[in-house]
Amino acid sequence: MIPGLSGGSDSSGSFPCRGTDELLGVMDQVTIINSTLGKALGGASGGYTTGPEPLVSLLRQRARPYLFSNSLPPAVVGCASKALDLLMESNTIVQSMAAKTQRFRSKMEAAGFTVSGASHPICPVMLGDARLASRMADDMLKRGIFVIGFSYPVVPKGKARIRVQISAVHSEEDIDRCVEAFVEVGRLHGALP
């Protein structure tokens, strides 16, 4: 387990943290961590397992994905390592992400959209209709906002959505501009009154 992680509640009551074990307050009970080098650590590829040396040695000899995969590119490893260093040094990035996520979610809900989940930086804007999600995502891109429409078979039928991913590099102005574009496009396509 990585020592030194600590979380705290912000004024909104959400709990900015650096992982599920911190969120649930069980860091001292977790011995093995399986995770990805994807979205949270820069959007690269690959993943990792941490744990006791005997487990890591066993996985190196027996894990099929490990045996039949190419190693990660050095640039991916370097970027992920730096991202982990930044997260270990300070809770500032995590708190900033929580504030940006809350800003987006609250403004979208105030505008009349339904955003699935709670306090996660991946914010599914629920629309239901696949064609609507696709057309709105296309129109968002025309306004300089890159979002992805998801529909069946990626998500259940009738649960089409546009997935928005809040990033550490987004500013408050970026968040507000995104919400304004959603409102404009939502009204254009009849998703909002």
**Which one of 89, 109, 128 terminates a domain?**
89
Around Cβ 185, how many Cβ atoms within 10 Å?
Answer: 22
Quote the pTM value. Answer: 0.75
Q: Are residues 133 and 152 in the same domain?
A: yes
CA dihedral for 133, 134, 137, 139, sign (positive or negative): negative
Structure confidence at residue 44 (pLDDT): 67
**Which one of 89, 108, 132 terminates a domain?**
89
| CA–CA distance, 76 with 72 (Å, rounded to integer) | 7
Amino acid letter, 162:
I
Structural contact between residues 181 and 145, judged by C-beta atoms closer than 8 angstroms: yes
CA dihedral for 24, 148, 92, 110, sign (positive or negative): negative
Q: Are residues 121 and 80 in the same domain?
A: no
Question: Which range of residues forms the domain containing residue 184?
Answer: 92-189
Q: Are residues 76 and 96 in the same domain?
A: no
Domain count, the chain: 2
Contacts of 155 (CB under 8 A, 6+ apart): 161
Give me 104's structure tokens: 């987006």
pLDDT digits (tens, 9 = 90+) for 3-38: 333 333 333 334 466 677 777 888 889 888 887 777
- CATH of residue 183: 3.90.1150.10
Query: Is residue 1 included in any domain, yes or no?
Result: no
pLDDT digits (tens, 9 = 90+) for 76-99: 888 888 888 888 888 888 889 889
Q: Are residues 74 and 152 in the same domain?
A: no
Query: Is residue 169 included in any domain, yes or no?
Result: yes
